[in-house]
A and B are shown apart, each in its own frame.
Chain A
Amino acid sequence: MQQPQQVVSGHGVNLFQDTQNALGLYLHIPFCFHKCHYCDFYSIVDSATRHEDRQQHFTDALISELLTANDKSPLKVRTIFVGGGTPTLLQPKFWHQIFQTLHKIVDFSSLDEFTVEANPETVTDELMRLFAQNGVNRISIGAQSFDQSLLKVLERWHDPQNVSKAMNIARNAGIRYINLDMIFAIPSQTMDRLNADLDAVLDLQPDHISDYSLIFEPNTPLTQKRNMGLIQPIKEDIERDMFEHVITRLSQAGYDHYEISNWAKKTQANQDLPVWGNRCLHNLLYWHNANWLGFGPSAASHMNGHRWKNLPHLGKYIEGSPIPPTIDHEYLKQHDRIGEQLMMLLRLREGVSTAWIKKHIPDSDVRHQTIKELRDINMLEIRDNYLRLTDQGLFVGDAVIARLL
């Protein structure tokens, strides 16, 4: 049997040549049937049947907003990512309308990746076929854990059994890439239970795995519970051990750790895959600071150094249609922009090329000194002409990167 080998490397490959135009679209669907306790994404509780009007109004507004991006010639974007919320909560007829619009404004021939986030409970054959017919080639399923009691801690309502069912449905419908979202360091989780979760994930052999350590975001019920002492966060050193364990097991199982929390199944020489393999191109686009446009309430955009966000408010989004209210406009000074880029690129395991550093960081910048210091204490290293977090630096990536902002 042929050993899985990595033919894909970001090194030296410039994935995003076009630096002027939008290369990605992000659509935010702000509905969920229930609010998970750790979640701080913008979404409102919705049951499709009871709130059909609202879904219709949202869809209308989203379509109008998409049409504002319409150009003389169709947009040559590389990726579309529909996130949420729970996009699969949207009724098929609304999906239909959205697809129609997308086909009108986007040149699908240049599209490489089209992802939709899905809740395992809402993956139906009908929807997946509709997706596949309309160019969706990647589904990201929020599994989080396969342990019923850990899901309960997160107040995440789905049956773990349904994850594999959802994967089968999607694959059978012709969806090429499947990602599973996982969370570790959930209160009351032990190493054994983490292993059980990893066993379950690896058993399903998704093409891509995002495994996040649980974050206590401000203003979430989970954080409140922690503050009230009702739940005990996992201790820092155990969390670190868990992270290390996740890294070790996933790489042993043939997954390439390409970003702090992201793993792509290694490709084999005989596989007919693009140069980025099973990695998520849309996320790579964020990390490489390419341009993208966001649609829907709370969606963020980036165009040539300008960043902004739609107001996270469904009512105002619909009211303001077709141009929604925006917030957090930002255009950074050159110095800060370099910091931001370093922040993004260093999240990638390959890091940032020394050529890029030479080109963008002036000699007078104290960052050179800081980089040296961080290399001295083995937080950063240079490997194959790339500056990257060391295996050790990875665990404290934020603290390392903060010094370079």
Chain B
Amino acid sequence: MKIRNFCIIAHIDHGKSTLADRLLASTGAVTKREEREQTLDSMDLERERGITIKASSVSVMHHYEGEDYMLNFIDTPGHVDFHYEVSRALQACEGAILVVDSAQGVEAQTVANAYLAIESDLEMIPVINKIDLPGARPEEIALETEQVLGLPADECIFTSAKTGAGITELLDAICARLPDPSPRKSGDEAPKSDDEKTRALIFDAKYDDYRGVVVYFRLFGGKLKVGDKIRMMGTKRGFAVGELGKFKPKMTRQKEPMLAGEVGYMVASIKTLADVNIGDTITLDNDPAECALPGYQEPHPMVFCDFYPSGETQFDDLREAVTKLHINDASFTYQPTNSEALGSGFRCGFLGMLHMDIIQERLEREGNVSLVQTAPTVTYEIEQRDGTVFEITNPADLPDPSLIKEIREPMITAEIITPNKSIGDLMKLCDQRRGEYKKQQYLSETRQILDYELPLAETIYDFYDKLKSITSGYGTMDYQLNGFRRDNLVKMDILVNGTRVDALSVIVHRDKAEYRGRVLLKRLKQEIDRHLFEIPLQAAIGGKIIARETIKSVGKNVTAKCYGGDVTRKRKLLEKQKKGKERMKRVGTVDIPQEAFMAVLDTGE
């Protein structure tokens, strides 16, 4: 029996899930009824958003030219924020299927993910999908793929996951074109002797309420069986293998040992996801390998925000929800924090905005808590006059300006694919966001690739939405983090009714501060209800007020009638007024709604 390990990489809606389902169905792994479900996506939330967050793997059998092949399909997510999950899935494969929509063509994520695969020395099979669509231009798109990614157009396989066209051809190509599993990865510096030793790469882990942590691994060399004493080479922690198995696509236990080249899962009484490092190498305790497989760097969170309890939710409820979610999903970081304005909460770190939204929604939904979330911000690198350098993730933590030599902010290199006609407007957008033009590249007669270097902070909020609207939905973007760069950055404080609200402080470019201040205060004015007293709003840099607004006090709010004796009705009406307030955060004597904390993101464009 031969083994093929591969993943599918695609732009977000180019039909990866349906193609995967089709592949499974054609190998007989999934019945017709199960086919209806998108087998590989499990969480509701993921399905609602049409994305796959967690990578998982499925093993199926295929017969090709008289031989049995075990096809191990490792799933990858398709969103910009989840690059790291794509790259760790790539580590476990020898091949990748690159799916391109035959109407939409190559998109920014296709390019980014294809480059990742090429860097990892993966064999690639380009697939032009959705050829059943009326607007399909498979030949043209195949040429585009050749032009941008250097994958020969004549190697493209045309498929329709919907009608089944090209699916058998694709399965055959997987068997024929992808290499046999190798005991070592590219860049592997292990001695030859390690090829015989047990080395398994952890490419994912999930938490299951019954089994504890389920570890997904790809075995490069040696064997693994139930009862083996194993050691994680990175963390040096030891466990005993309690259960081994594969997803076919249902979780299926296996008694026989797992052999080199195979992909599977193991359960080993690991209590929390924090005990497992994705990218770590598993070896046998009594016959260890010398070198771990080339490491894989867990990404640093780059976007941060605070969560505070609101309404009925207490800090303890929030703590419970956060820690519980973290056992299930270690992709975000958290630490307790304290705000003068908002009390006790958690500062959490995310890989991007979408990731943040997902975590926030899961906290509210699964943890049943109500939250006030502060506006997301990025990490800043601070160099003080005395030479010390450190990072802050919260503008409120910025030291006194007199101590600061410079503030550096994280940069990204953005690759934007856009229709020609939107180029001008896109460049204007990038300029407004302090972007630096890098290069422009021809993609096809109608589209171009635009490279820009931008401050991450300028892109975390509505940049992607703006890009989408400028390009009528046709533009796509992908980005890589690209170090820190110094700029003329200052902290702008916001005073509500004379009190500085630390959760509203924001780091901005000095030249844009007045403008941002005015926009921010206007937004705050819209978001904060009128009170019984006048509320001055001010934006300040250091001690200097740079913008101001006033929220007028309520003029009249008194129901004249007392509804005969219907006291209940009267009380309920007033209670409604009061309830509205309870969902807000009280800062001093001012009730501030959640939306107001997001006001700092309004760029006023």
Interfacial residues, chain A to chain B (CB-CB below 8 A): 26, 28, 41, 83, 211-213, 215, 236-237, 239-240, 243, 260-261, 283, 286-287, 292, 294, 299-302, 307, 309, 328, 330, 339-340, 343-344, 347, 373-374, 377, 379, 393-403, 405
Whole-angstrom CA separation of A395 from B532 in the bound complex: 10
Are A26 and B560 neighbours in the complex by a CB distance under 8 Å?
Answer: no
Are A395 and B565 neighbours in the complex by a CB distance under 8 Å?
Answer: no
- B553, B568, B573: which contacts A309 (Cβ < 8 A)? B568
Whole-angstrom CA separation of A395 from B571 in the bound complex: 18
Which 3 residue pairs across A and B have the least CB separation, nearest first? A212-B560, A397-B558, A402-B577
Whole-angstrom CA separation of A215 from B65 in the bound complex: 83
- List the B side residues contacting A393 at CB < 8 Å: 532
**Does B533 make an interface contact (CB < 8 A)?**
yes
- Interface residue ranges of B225-248 to A (CB < 8 Å): none
The chain B residue sitting closest to A292, CB to CB, is B565
A280 to chain B, nearest CB (A): 11
**Does B574 make an interface contact (CB < 8 A)?**
yes
Are B568 and A307 neighbours in the complex by a CB distance under 8 Å?
Answer: yes
Whole-angstrom CA separation of A401 from B268 in the bound complex: 60
A248 to chain B, nearest CB (A): 16
- A240, A294, A396: which contacts B532 (Cβ < 8 A)? A396
Question: 7 additional contacts, CB 8 Å, given A344-B567, A396-B555?
Answer: A41-B564, A212-B561, A237-B555, A294-B565, A395-B558, A396-B554, A402-B581
- List the A side residues contacting B560 at CB < 8 Å: 211-213, 215, 260-261
B201 to chain A, nearest CB (A): 57
Q: A300-B567, A302-B565 are in contact. Are A395 and B556 (CB under 8 A)?
A: yes
Are A398 and B577 neighbours in the complex by a CB distance under 8 Å?
Answer: yes
- List the A side residues contacting B533 at CB < 8 Å: 377
Whole-angstrom CA separation of A397 from B556 in the bound complex: 8
B497 to chain A, nearest CB (A): 11
Contact digits for B548-592, partner A, Cβ 8 Å, 1 yes 0 no? 000001111111111011111111011101100100000001000
Are A399 and B562 neighbours in the complex by a CB distance under 8 Å?
Answer: no
- List the B side residues contacting A373 at CB < 8 Å: 589
Are A394 and B558 neighbours in the complex by a CB distance under 8 Å?
Answer: yes
Are A300 and B561 neighbours in the complex by a CB distance under 8 Å?
Answer: no
Are B568 and A403 neighbours in the complex by a CB distance under 8 Å?
Answer: no
Are A215 and B561 neighbours in the complex by a CB distance under 8 Å?
Answer: yes
B399 to chain A, nearest CB (A): 35
- A83, A260, A344, A394: which contacts B564 (Cβ < 8 A)? A83
Interfacial residues, chain B to chain A (CB-CB below 8 A): 532-533, 553-562, 564-571, 573-575, 577-578, 581, 589
Interchain residue pairs with CB less than 8 A apart (20): A41-B564, A236-B556, A240-B555, A261-B561, A261-B562, A287-B562, A294-B565, A300-B568, A301-B565, A302-B565, A309-B566, A330-B568, A339-B571, A340-B571, A343-B567, A343-B574, A374-B532, A395-B558, A396-B555, A403-B581
B563 to chain A, nearest CB (A): 8
A387 to chain B, nearest CB (A): 16
Interface of B is mostly: loop
The chain A residue sitting closest to B575, CB to CB, is A405
Whole-angstrom CA separation of A203 from B578 in the bound complex: 41
B588 to chain A, nearest CB (A): 10
- List the B side residues contacting A41 at CB < 8 Å: 564
Whole-angstrom CA separation of A41 from B562 in the bound complex: 12
B311 to chain A, nearest CB (A): 16
Whole-angstrom CA separation of A293 from B458 in the bound complex: 66
Whole-angstrom CA separation of A192 from B564 in the bound complex: 30
Are B532 and A379 neighbours in the complex by a CB distance under 8 Å?
Answer: yes
Are B568 and A405 neighbours in the complex by a CB distance under 8 Å?
Answer: no
Are A328 and B568 neighbours in the complex by a CB distance under 8 Å?
Answer: yes
B288 to chain A, nearest CB (A): 63
B377 to chain A, nearest CB (A): 32
A126 to chain B, nearest CB (A): 27
- B555, B562, B578: which contacts A402 (Cβ < 8 A)? B578
Whole-angstrom CA separation of A330 from B570 in the bound complex: 13
- B553, B556, B567, B573: which contacts A286 (Cβ < 8 A)? B567
Are B556 and A240 neighbours in the complex by a CB distance under 8 Å?
Answer: yes
Whole-angstrom CA separation of A405 from B558 in the bound complex: 15
- List the B side residues contacting A292 at CB < 8 Å: 565
B107 to chain A, nearest CB (A): 45
Are B558 and A286 neighbours in the complex by a CB distance under 8 Å?
Answer: no
Are A283 and B562 neighbours in the complex by a CB distance under 8 Å?
Answer: yes
- List the B side residues contacting A403 at CB < 8 Å: 578, 581
Q: A300-B564, A307-B567, A328-B568 are in contact. Are A402 and B556 (CB under 8 A)?
A: no
- List the A side residues contacting B571 at CB < 8 Å: 339-340, 343, 405
- List the A side residues contacting B566 at CB < 8 Å: 300, 309
Are A215 and B574 neighbours in the complex by a CB distance under 8 Å?
Answer: no
- List the B side residues contacting A302 at CB < 8 Å: 565, 567
- List the A side residues contacting B589 at CB < 8 Å: 373, 377
Are B574 and A405 neighbours in the complex by a CB distance under 8 Å?
Answer: yes
Whole-angstrom CA separation of A5 from B581 in the bound complex: 43
Are B554 and A399 neighbours in the complex by a CB distance under 8 Å?
Answer: yes
The chain B residue sitting closest to A393, CB to CB, is B532
Are A398 and B558 neighbours in the complex by a CB distance under 8 Å?
Answer: yes
Are B561 and A399 neighbours in the complex by a CB distance under 8 Å?
Answer: no
Whole-angstrom CA separation of A83 from B555 in the bound complex: 32
Q: A309-B568, A377-B589, A396-B532 are in contact. Are A402 and B574 (CB under 8 A)?
A: yes
Q: A402-B575, A403-B578 are in contact. Are A239 and B567 (CB under 8 A)?
A: no
Whole-angstrom CA separation of A287 from B562 in the bound complex: 9
B560 to chain A, nearest CB (A): 4
Whole-angstrom CA separation of A236 from B569 in the bound complex: 24
The chain B residue sitting closest to A394, CB to CB, is B558
- List the B side residues contacting A397 at CB < 8 Å: 557-558
Are B555 and A395 neighbours in the complex by a CB distance under 8 Å?
Answer: yes
